[in-house]
Amino acid sequence: RTCDQLRCTACDFRVSLFNDYTWDQSCDYLFFRNNMPEFSKLRAKMIKKKGTRAYACQCSWRSIDELTDLQTEQQLRWVCGKH
């Protein structure tokens, strides 16, 4: 089951997702803090990669290429906003 309305309980920001993109390895906390949620600014550190999905809030980010259980990611504070 996937959720398209994730929210971060750490920064209280909605998690944005971008299909067919992955985050550049140079991404850091300040980049997301200063640029979320503006795609035009985020695009500077996104790499087009079919089959991946880039997720980010203001304090965390992930590039996913397979089904992942967020509950196993201890450092993430993302919950589904549908509940």
The per-residue pLDDT for range 24-39, each reduced to its tens digit, is 999 999 999 999 999 9
Residue 53 lies in a domain: yes
Structural domain contains residue 29 = yes
In a domain, 83, yes or no: no
Measured between alpha carbons, how far is 53 from 61 in angstroms, rounded to an integer? 11
Residue 75 domain-assigned (yes or no): no
Parent domain of 18: 6-63
Is residue 82 included in any domain, yes or no?
Answer: no
Arithmetic mean of pLDDT, 51-61: 95
Cα angle vertex 6, ends 43, 45, to 5°?
Answer: 15
From CA 33, how far away is CA 54, in angstroms rounded? 16
Q: Which helix (H) or strand (E) holds 35?
A: helix 29-35
Domain count, the chain: 1
pTM (global) more than 0.85:
yes
pLDDT for residue 56? 96
Q: Does 74 map to a domain?
A: no
In a domain, residue 41? The reply is yes
